[in-house]
Amino acid sequence: MKNILVIGSGAMGAAFTIPCIDNYHKVTLCEPYNRELVKKILSKKKIHPNLKLNLPKKLIVKNFSKEILKKKWDLIVIAVSSIGIDLVKEKLKQLKNKCHILVLTKGLKYEKNSKRIITMSEQLDNGNNKLNLSVLKGPCLASELARKIKTSVVIANKNIKTAKSIGKLISTDYYKIDYSNDVRGVEICSAIKNIYSIIIGAGEGLNTSSSIFSKSISEMVYLTKFFNGKEKTVYGLAGLGDLYVSALGGRNSRMGKYLGKGFTYKKAKKKFMPNDTIEGAQLSFEIAPYILKKINNKKIPLMVDLLKAISKNKKLNIRW
């Protein structure tokens, strides 16, 4: 039995605790900033409001506190949104004992000082005394993992042995783990697929969307290599696999549908999805200043069209 701490009690963080508990670990799910969510979970016999199912009885649920990081953990899992990464970074400075840290959060950040794009693990590691970081990405809908529908993801670490040691802790007959040493490529793919999911969702029909899907993969290859990732990663779980799941349905592709009908992003968000987080749109705002100026736009026309439409709140016009 190992002690596992999951920081972030949203749908994915909560769902991730289930295979951990099925492997007989002692698991604590904590929330660093949304106290109301913790109250909702505890007030309804651990029924998660987003997953709409009972979390395991053995799961410990609490608000984050300074005392938590003073305990000895075998694995700490980061499952907050990309917006919450900076907060978690500061919290991790209180960590007393070194342990494996697994990052579920997907996203990229434009670092204005250095004028470069950094990944979530790089953002956490910056100034944090070289934390022992691994990342987990891939086609995983939280609602399906929580219901133990067969799921495959990839854990990336430059040291494959480290990745495999974490995989042994969390893998089950319904939660399969692949491994990669292409940490940057895995993180780049898992982030930009949200943008391409919006573009695919904007297709007029299946014929159009399938063509856009194919062109999206080509652009993902170019971008992943540009950011020093490996081409083969694009064709794996973090790239093509995750893009497939996101393009079939979900918030990003649903937003794409409205953009494809001629709505601007702000109007579509307000009218149809006011309470939804659109990861692809958040990422577009974050990286548009860099992508539009620093990368050959002729190589990534789909990405450029989407970034301009969202960042400038104009109607989407796909040059496909």
Chain center to CA of 111 = 19
Cα separation, 231 vs 219, whole angstroms: 11
With the C-alpha atoms ordered 117, 91, 79, 258, is the resulting torsion angle positive or negative?
Answer: negative
Query: Is 275 in a helix, a strand, or coil?
Result: coil
Query: Is 31 in a helix, a strand, or coil?
Result: strand
Indicate the helix (H) or strand (E) that contains 102.
strand 100-103
Q: Where are the alpha helices (DSSP H) in the chain?
A: 11-22, 35-43, 85-92, 120-125, 142-146, 160-170, 183-201, 206-226, 231-234, 242-248, 251-260, 265-272, 279-294, 301-311
Let me know: does 247 contact 200? Beta carbons within 8 Å. Answer: yes
Q: Which two tokens stand for residue 282?
A: 């958040």
Catalytic center residues: 193
> Exposure of 38 by Cβ count < 10 A (0-12 exposed, 13-18 middle, 19+ buried)?
middle
